[in-house]
Structure 1
Amino acid sequence: MLLTILTYPNPELKKRSNPVTVITDKTRELVRDMAETMYHAPGVGLAAPQVGVHQRVIVIDVSGDENPELIVAINPEIIHAEGEVFDEEGCLSVPKFSANVRRHARVVVKALNLDGEEITYRADGLLAIAFQHEIDHLDGTLFIDHLSPLKKGIFRKRYLRTVEEQKEFSK
């Protein structure tokens, strides 16, 4: 089932998510729905808070369209990070806006899979960026929160003006 993706400035996006204590059929259903929603959007990652569920669950697929490789990470935690990249990011919760964000170039992420088994991912490139971006969502942080105060102020003005114009246009 397609879920509704919350968009900025919805205050739900700023809430910290709770750890998953037991993986249930409801958790598996959430993951299925999140994956379907992410692929439909289309995006390369989605965190549960983006669909109004404050649990530490993310789905990621940076493989492209041909051979999907869905990563499901429950209670993900970055246990090691190194290097630095400064690259353009976008977000399904901040549509039609992107900005350069500074991130770690490589990360090691520990998480649980849907069977409750601990897994470790060693990631670089787009996958490392996606892990950091989605884990930020679990902590109530959006990629725009990484912008300088000046750039964040410019973003807010432009973005909110665009949202208002869209509302007027759709009337």
Structure 2
Amino acid sequence: MPCNPHVYSLCNFTSVAIGPHLDGSLFDTSSFLIDRPTQLSAVFRFDFTTTTWEYHAPMLTSRRSFACAKVLDSDQIIVAGGGSRHTMFSAAGSRMTSVERYDICRDEWVAMEGLPSFRAWCVGFFAGDVEEREFWVMGGYGQARTISEVVSVDEYYQNAVVMELTNRNSDGMWRETG
């Protein structure tokens, strides 16, 4: 990766294979600088044909531990949620609901309808076909609370949220599943 491996750890990042490329976000430094974790928005692409790395437009929101998937039959990627458990962000860490779509050809990110609730350490994938696509975000954890203002307790999700994306509507609404 085009960064210092002694400063950045290879954790809490996501990668997506698209053709002869591997796109991925930069990682956080939580395992190296334990008292100063960093959520980053940097994005890199590895080209297997030239074996080189290149920088791409950063995400609109810095994040880590998020859901990510390639949109079926397109040159787009969607990222959703993310966050940290580190108390530097708050007593229980940070969580986010933001969702972004990346257009690979334009090297451009756009904001989408946010998740219905905070969700970090979740997974994402697409289901359906070209006409009726669904972006699923499953598992992870959401809101957190503290016990006696000391111990952080996470709300773990056993469900999924789904955004339907059609050719007519590329920014769908979320629905929750059981």
TM-score under structure 2 normalisation?
0.25
User: Higher helix fraction: Structure 1 or Structure 2?
Assistant: 1
Q: Which has the higher contact order (CA 8 A, sep 6+)?
A: 1
User: Higher strand fraction: Structure 1 or Structure 2?
Assistant: 2
TM-score under structure 1 normalisation?
0.26
